[in-house]
């Protein structure tokens, strides 16, 4: 096991932000990235992660690792780490390849799991949680992660415009819960909510 870790470290790409950005741009043009966030959301993740000096970020819904890559680029600067959860083994395998190519495998803990159960095992405090899995589950994830997010930390959720119906209860909750202050990223194409914990 130790030998495998050493081998992986030897063959992992050396990290440069320019290299990572170039790979994310290539992924953006790939037709298989259909479910992923858009670069405008990614640039926001990159910014907020640094603004909050985030050290611990949790992502629910890895897919092939595109959005994770944006968090990881910022976490390289803050000295933080990303935990990212995915239920589909093929997507998780591809995400692992993405992290190796980006040169961020050392700071990404990728878990093949049902996030609804895995989240319960993850201790706080978390600086950022990004919810991007099955839309009707968003309200459950919100309830599970809110106690783990530090004051001033944020819960981000994707597809608040194009999947508002299936997550209607979640959207009502984050706009009425006194525990958070919610705004929406205006430039996000598919919609991104930003709920800051008071
Ligand atoms: C929209 S995609 C994520 C896209 C990714 N965040 C990005 O922007 O690059 C949603 C992912 O959530 C995963 N997912 C759905 N329900 C899940 C669950 N209960 N546990 C873990 N992953 C789940 C799906 O398999 C899918 O890969």
The CATH number of domain 2-197, selected from 3.50.50.60, 1.10.540.10, 3.40.50.150, 3.40.50.1360: 3.40.50.150
139-159 confidence digits (pLDDT tens): 999 999 999 999 999 999 999
Q: Name the closest-CA residue to atom 26, ligand 1.
A: 63
Whole-number Cα distances in Å, 38 to 35, 65, 127, 168, 182: 9, 13, 22, 22, 20
- pLDDT, tens only, 25-55: 999 988 666 689 999 999 999 999 999 999 9
- 5: exposed, middle or buried (Cβ count in 10 Å: 0-12, 13-18, 19+): exposed
Beta bridge partners of 112: 86
CB-based burial, 84-107: b 16+ in 10 Å, e otherwise: bbbbeeebbebbbebbbbbbbbeb
- Arithmetic mean of pLDDT, 170-178: 98
Average pLDDT, the chain: 94
Q: How confident is the model at residue 5 (pLDDT cuts 50, 70, 90)?
A: very low
pTM of the model: 0.94
Q: Which residues line ligand 1 (CB under 6 A)?
A: 35-37, 61, 63, 66-67, 85-88, 91, 114-116, 132-134
Ligand 1 atom closest to the Cα of residue 59 is 6
Tell how far the Cα of 63 is from the centroid of ligand 1, in angstroms. Answer: 5
């Amino acid at each position: 096991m130790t030998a495998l870790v050493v081998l992986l470290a030897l063959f992992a790409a050396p990290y440069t932000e320019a290299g990572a950005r170039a790979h994310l741009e290539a992924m953006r043009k790939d037709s298989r990235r259909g479910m992923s966030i858009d670069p405008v959301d990614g640039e926001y993740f990159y910014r907020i992660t640094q603004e909050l000096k985030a050290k611990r970020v949790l992502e629910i819904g890895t897919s092939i690792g595109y959005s994770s890559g944006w968090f990881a680029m910022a976490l390289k600067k803050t000295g933080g780490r990303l935990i990212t959860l995915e239920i589909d083994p093929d997507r998780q395998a591809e995400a692992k390849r993405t992290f190796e190519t980006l040169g961020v495998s050392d700071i990404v803990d990728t878990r093949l799991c049902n996030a609804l159960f895995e989240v319960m095992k993850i201790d706080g405090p978390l600086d950022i949680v990004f919810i991007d899995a099955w839309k009707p589950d968003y309200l459950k994830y919100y309830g599970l992660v809110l106690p783990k997010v530090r004051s001033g930390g944020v819960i981000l959720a994707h597809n608040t415009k194009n999947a508002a119906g299936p997550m209607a209860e979640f959207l009502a909750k984050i706009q009425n819960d006194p525990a958070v202050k919610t705004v929406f990223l205006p430039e996000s194409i598919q919609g991104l909510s930003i709920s800051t914990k008071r």
